[in-house]
């Protein structure tokens, strides 16, 4: 009898432990739903029927940092699926300036009013509209697609492109970091833009609906550990990248620059004096990356050779850094805070593009 009772006791003990653990999980889920846990932006499916990476429209979001949910920002994804407080209009007679970028312009960690595009919208109110088209992780190749989208759908008369990071290799299909974007595929100078489809799976949907899972993945950054584990799995690296020599990534990044300018003019079609490149300053307080510095120089030279206007934020940030330290960057993060966005907005406002656009009759 004693031997028969032992498995039952073990089962009862395991069941009790499981029920207690489940109760703790349920309590944590309920409590976290009342706290400012990062919600994420909910990217939508991207394919040939919907070829532009953006987010679920008309939705509020919450951003917070780390385990203690600090630096809370509450923002909005607008009617067209972009992080912006403004709803985008198709038929307005007020000229439109489109601001294009990646996470620096998406800027979910900065209140909209403090962003570059938010500041420009206020400074140009009644004279020009300012809409932003940006997503974290967007490679340089995607910038041309976003700019073309702004011109084709909303009639943008000018575009401002913020270029940061200077990796550029993620614009090559062999080195792309995520799906849902347009990248270059093929061989040599004949590489063409190709859309990499993206469809959110059921696991992502579960995470989106659970405050506890979002807290673990986005606030405690366990998503980075998951990504690192996946990167170490066989087959997680595309064969072209795995077999490439050590300097192949840099060569691929350099090759993207002429491809980008080839396609940018073809897709966007704006006169060169209606395009402004904002060259983001390299992050201060970090070890310089010689490869990215070289790519930055090459890109700046290509901008000039193509006849486009550029504003270089490096001297502006360097001067501010000498005077006040890195007050324009988020602590522990390379991205701009509101002060950094203010510097970028002032630089854009001082450009020839803004002066010429405002001088043009509507």
pLDDT digit string, tens, across residues 20-58: 888 888 898 899 999 999 999 999 999 999 999 999 999
Instruction: Encode pLDDT of 189-247 as tens digits.
Output: 789 999 999 998 888 888 889 989 999 999 998 877 766 655 554 444 455 555 456 68
Rounded to whole angstroms, what are the CA distances from 227 to 171, 217, 232, 308, 333? Answer: 19, 11, 9, 38, 19
- Do residues 5 and 49 share a domain? no
Q: Tokens at residue 195, please?
A: 């859309």
Rounded to whole angstroms, what are the CA distances from 101 to 37, 82, 156, 193? Answer: 25, 12, 15, 18
More confidently predicted of 231 and 258:
258
Q: Give the mean pLDDT of the chain.
A: 90
- Do residues 151 and 272 share a domain? yes
Length of the chain: 362
Q: Give the number of domains in the chain.
A: 2
Task: Specify which residues 279 forms β-bridges with.
Answer: 163, 312
- Do residues 26 and 137 share a domain? no
Instruction: Encode pLDDT of 99-133 as tens digits.
Output: 999 999 999 999 999 999 999 999 999 999 999 99
- Do residues 112 and 29 share a domain? no
Cβ–Cβ under 8 Å, residues 53 and 41: no
What pLDDT is recorded for position 17? 81
Q: Is the dihedral of CA 139, 142, 147, 149 positive or negative?
A: negative
Backbone angles phi, psi at 129, to 5 degrees: -85, 150
Q: Tokens at residue 259, please?
A: 């491809």
Can you tell me the distance from the alpha carbon of 109 to that of 36, in angstroms, rounded to the nearest whole number?
A: 13
Range of the domain at 16: 1-34
- Do residues 92 and 140 share a domain? yes
What pLDDT is recorded for position 233? 47
- Do residues 15 and 53 share a domain? no
Least confident range from 66-75, 206-215, 218-227, 306-315: namely: 218-227
Quick one: which of 77, 44, 40, 85 has its CA closest to 62? 40
What pLDDT is recorded for position 24? 87
Task: Specify which residues 101 forms β-bridges with.
Answer: 134
Least confident range from 92-106, 137-151, 154-168, 278-292: namely: 278-292
Q: Tokens at residue 102, please?
A: 């990646």
SS (H, E, C) 46-91: ECCCCCCCCECCCEEEEEEECCCCEEEEEEEECCCCCECCCCCCCC
- Do residues 106 and 22 share a domain? no
- Do residues 57 and 28 share a domain? no
Q: State the angle between helix axes of 290-305 and 248-268 in degrees (0 to 180), rounded to the nearest 10.
A: 30
What pLDDT is recorded for position 230? 54
What pLDDT is recorded for position 6? 61
Mean pLDDT of 149-173: 95
- Do residues 13 and 129 share a domain? no
- Do residues 99 and 190 share a domain? yes
More confidently predicted of 188 and 161:
161
Rounded to whole angstroms, what are the CA distances from 130 to 2, 109, 210? Answer: 78, 19, 34
Mean pLDDT of 77-93: 95
Is pLDDT at 292 greater than 60 in this prediction?
A: yes
- CATH code: domain of residue 44: 3.40.50.1110
Cβ–Cβ under 8 Å, residues 167 and 298: no
Enter the DSSP assignment of 336: B
- Do residues 30 and 177 share a domain? no
What pLDDT is recorded for position 301? 97
Can you tell me the distance from the alpha carbon of 352 to that of 140, in angstroms, rounded to the nearest whole number?
A: 23
What pLDDT is recorded for position 70? 92
Backbone angles phi, psi at 193, to 5 degrees: -65, 135
- Do residues 263 and 349 share a domain? yes
- % of residues, the chain, pLDDT over 70: 91
Q: Tokens at residue 189, please?
A: 């100078």
Rounded to whole angstroms, what are the CA distances from 51 to 28, 140, 179, 188? Answer: 38, 16, 12, 25
Instruction: Encode pLDDT of 350-361 as tens digits.
Output: 999 999 988 876
Cβ–Cβ under 8 Å, residues 293 and 251: no
């Amino acid at each position: 009898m004693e031997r028969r009772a032992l498995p039952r006791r073990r089962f009862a003990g395991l069941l009790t432990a499981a029920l207690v653990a489940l109760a703790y999980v349920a309590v944590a889920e309920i409590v976290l739903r009342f706290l400012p846990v990062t919600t994420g932006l909910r990217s939508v499916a991207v394919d040939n029927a919907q070829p532009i990476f953006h987010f679920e429209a008309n939705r509020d979001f919450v951003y917070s940092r780390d385990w203690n949910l600090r630096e809370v920002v509450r923002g909005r994804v607008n009617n067209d699926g972009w992080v912006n407080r403004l709803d985008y209009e198709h038929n307005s007679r007020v000229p439109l300036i489109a601001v294009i970028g990646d996470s620096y312009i998406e800027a979910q960690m900065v209140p909209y009013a403090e962003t570059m595009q938010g500041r420009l919208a206020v400074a140009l109110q009644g004279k020009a509209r300012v809409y932003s088209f940006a997503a974290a992780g967007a490679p340089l190749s995607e910038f041309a697609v976003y700019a073309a989208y702004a011109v084709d759908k909303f009639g943008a008369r000018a575009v401002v492109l913020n270029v940061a990071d200077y990796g550029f290799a993620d614009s090559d299909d062999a080195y792309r970091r995520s799906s849902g974007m347009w990248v270059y595929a093929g061989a040599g100078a004949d590489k063409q833009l190709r859309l990499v489809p993206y469809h959110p799976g059921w696991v992502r949907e579960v995470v989106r609906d659970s405050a506890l899972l979002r807290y673990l993945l986005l606030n405690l950054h366990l998503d980075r550990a998951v990504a690192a584990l996946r990167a170490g799995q066989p087959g997680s690296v595309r064969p072209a990248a795995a077999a490439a020599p050590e300097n192949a990534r840099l060569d691929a990044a350099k090759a993207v620059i002429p491809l980008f300018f080839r396609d940018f003019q073809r897709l966007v079609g704006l006169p060169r004096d209606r395009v402004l490149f904002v060259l983001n300053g390299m992050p201060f307080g970090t070890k310089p990356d010689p490869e990215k510095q070289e790519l930055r120089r090459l890109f700046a030279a290509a901008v000039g050779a193509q006849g486009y206007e550029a504003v270089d934020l490096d001297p502006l940030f360097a001067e501010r850094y000498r005077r006040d330290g890195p007050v324009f960057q988020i602590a522990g993060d390379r991205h701009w805070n509101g002060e950094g966005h203010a510097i970028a907005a002032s630089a854009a406002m001082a450009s020839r593009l803004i002066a010429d656009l405002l001088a043009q009759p509507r």
